[in-house]
Amino acid sequence: MKILKVVHSFIPYTTAGTEVYTYNLARELSKRINIFIFFRINEPKEKEYVLKNSSLGEINLYSINNTFRKCKDFRQTYANPIIDKIFGSLLNEIEPDIVHIQHLLFLSLGIVIEAKKRGIPVVFTLNDYWLLCHRGQLIKDDLSLCPYPSVDNCKVCIGGQLYIRKNTMFFYNLLRKNLPIFLLQTIKNLYLSYVRAALFNEDKVAKEVKDRFNYVKEVISMVDTFIAPSNFIKDKFVIWGTPPERIIFSNYGLDYKRFPSILKTPSKKIRFGYIGTLLPTKGVDILIKAFKLLKNQSCELLIYGRLIRYAGYEFYPKYLKNIAKDDRRIKFMGGFDNETIANTMANIDILVVPSIWYENSPLVIYEAFLSKTPVIASRIGGIPELVKDRINGLLFKPNNTKDLYEKMRLIVDNPYLIERMKENIRPPKSIEENAKEMEEIYANLCKK
């Protein structure tokens, strides 16, 4: 059997949850079947859309360079005929039995159509809401939650993207890398004000939103099986109109070999930890503010993640540094190697997941539980399916600094709760179990 997996990025270029999970699943599957991975890279010095072949162990890799410097309109951000054609040629070369999509961000929805043209079954894992929301997180410009995608809701968020022209993204990325943050933000605000005032057209915006909705629905109708890692995301897609019988609930599996020990490094302090991407939607600023309300010196906050100026949120690293300053208990630990995530977990006593968006099923919570680390997390999205309040962790109101502070203070005042919650933690399923589930899904589709 040959499986072609599709993902928006891959290790070592990025090491967020989807990429790490895709790698671990592919590595386990490659022990028995042929695995190919098609993913996007962002290399400004490389030729646009160049396809390169390499390997990682037994996994065959195909990377396509898409910097968006040739992106000429909004539609091309989600439906790119050039990428479709290249992917179609790759399908002809590999002739896979199944195409399993983990994410299509930075690629093209037409990838599904190319597979179906050739009669190849398609599996699609719902790692976030990108099919419903062009941002993927159902969150608005002001970081408030978007309850449901609609023309009225989406037309506000799309904003300046509707006026993308050839080289728009090229110049934006050039300015983003070379200008001071305040100057970049000023130029961006002026540009957005201009396009909204001079070029905004209500009918055009509504049409662009409807066109994306219609194309997404066409693509969804072609997918044979969706995999939902949480019931929350499954319900969102059922409400959108996806037939529930085509969605299988299957949460993530973990590679136990990366956790040879669950022993914590000794410390006289209670160590709260954050591990992940440093973005506003992850609520790291809320965590820092809540922690600073704790006056007890017998605790510290360790923040693991790279302080990168992510597109659209270039201000955030400096903002985090500013609100954390003067508190020596808060430590920015820098990036980490996910292959040694067990060592990182060994250095914290309780993980904090303060997300403000509808998290699907955060892999870092699985990793925490495998290392016997209790979790304090937002009561949002699929998180409550994993974290059971006062059993294996604590839940707090999302985007609520005071409530998070109260939960952290509860731990500081009653440290015995950490050990009590540890006893209730059950390990997640293994990547071996997960791979067998996937193989069964693949085999059943091949029989049809």
* CATH number of the domain to which 365 belongs: 3.40.50.2000
- Of 168, 128, 97, whose CA–CA distance to 8 is shortest? 128
Give yes or no: residues 79 and 189 share one domain. Answer: no
The domain total for the chain is 3
Output the pTM of the full model: 0.91
Using CA atoms, how far apart are residues 374 and 205, in angstroms rounded to an integer?
45
| Across 259-263, average pLDDT | 84
User: Tens digits of per-residue pLDDT, 45-62?
Assistant: 899 999 999 999 999 999
Give yes or no: residues 110 and 184 share one domain. Answer: no
Q: Do 357 and 207 contact (CB within 8 A), yes or no?
A: no
The whole-number pLDDT of residue 184 equals: 75
Q: What is the dihedral of CA 9, 10, 15, 18, to 10 degrees?
A: 70
Q: Give a yes or no: residue 401 inside a domain.
A: yes
Q: Kindly tell me if the per-residue pLDDT of 198 is higher than 60.
A: no
Q: How confident is the model at residue 205 (pLDDT cuts 50, 70, 90)?
A: confident
Q: Give a yes or no: residue 69 inside a domain.
A: yes
Q: How confident is the model at residue 197 (pLDDT cuts 50, 70, 90)?
A: low
> 3-class DSSP state for residue 3?
strand
Question: What share of the chain in percent tops pLDDT 70?
Answer: 94
Phi, psi (deg, nearest 5) at residue 250: -155, 110
Q: Kindly tell me if the per-residue pLDDT of 425 is higher than 90.
A: yes
Give yes or no: residues 241 and 278 share one domain. Answer: no
> 3-class DSSP state for residue 67?
coil
- Of 276, 279, 233, whose CA–CA distance to 381 is shortest? 233
Give yes or no: residues 107 and 234 share one domain. Answer: yes
Phi, psi (deg, nearest 5) at residue 161: -60, -25
| Across 22-43, average pLDDT | 96
Q: Kindly tell me if the per-residue pLDDT of 247 is higher than 70.
A: yes
Q: Do 222 and 243 contact (CB within 8 A), yes or no?
A: no
Using CA atoms, how far apart are residues 204 and 330, in angstroms rounded to an integer?
48
Q: Give a yes or no: residue 407 inside a domain.
A: yes
Give yes or no: residues 110 and 181 share one domain. Answer: no
Give yes or no: residues 94 and 192 share one domain. Answer: no
Give yes or no: residues 243 and 132 share one domain. Answer: yes
- Of 67, 171, 133, 180, whose CA–CA distance to 281 is shortest? 133
The whole-number pLDDT of residue 443 equals: 96
| Across 389-393, average pLDDT | 97
Residue 47 Rama label (left phi>0; alpha psi -120 to 50; beta)? beta
Q: Give a yes or no: residue 145 inside a domain.
A: no
Give yes or no: residues 188 and 218 share one domain. Answer: no
Give yes or no: residues 103 and 187 share one domain. Answer: no
Which tokens in the block code for residue 365?
């919570």
Q: Kindly tell me if the per-residue pLDDT of 132 is higher than 90.
A: yes
The whole-number pLDDT of residue 310 equals: 67
Q: How confident is the model at residue 345 (pLDDT cuts 50, 70, 90)?
A: very high
Q: How confident is the model at residue 190 (pLDDT cuts 50, 70, 90)?
A: confident
Which residue, of 168, 186, 204, is where some domain finishes? Answer: 204
Using CA atoms, how far apart are residues 34 and 29, in angstroms rounded to an integer?
8
Chain-centroid distance, C-alpha 77: 18
Q: Give a yes or no: residue 351 inside a domain.
A: yes
β-strand pairing of 51-56 with 59-65: antiparallel
> 3-class DSSP state for residue 380?
coil
- Structural domain for 99, as ranges: 2-136+214-253+431-447
| Across 307-335, average pLDDT | 87
Using CA atoms, how far apart are residues 99 and 233, in angstroms rounded to an integer?
21
User: Taking every pair of C-alpha atoms in the chain, what is the biggest distance, in angstroms?
Assistant: 63
Q: 94 CB contacts (<8 Å, ≥6 apart)? A: 2, 4, 36
Give yes or no: residues 233 and 249 share one domain. Answer: yes
Q: 10 CB contacts (<8 Å, ≥6 apart)? A: 19, 22, 23, 37, 39, 61, 63
Question: How many helices (H) and strands (E) would you count in the chain?
Answer: 15, 14
Q: Give a yes or no: residue 383 inside a domain.
A: yes
Using CA atoms, how far apart are residues 433 and 428, in angstroms rounded to an integer?
10
Q: What are the respective helix, strand and coil percentages of the chain, to the nearest 5? A: 45, 15, 40
Give yes or no: residues 231 and 199 share one domain. Answer: no
Q: How confident is the model at residue 17 (pLDDT cuts 50, 70, 90)?
A: confident
Residue holding tokens 């109708």? 221
Give yes or no: residues 236 and 333 share one domain. Answer: no
Chain-centroid distance, C-alpha 61: 21
- Considering the chain, what is the average pLDDT of its residues? 91
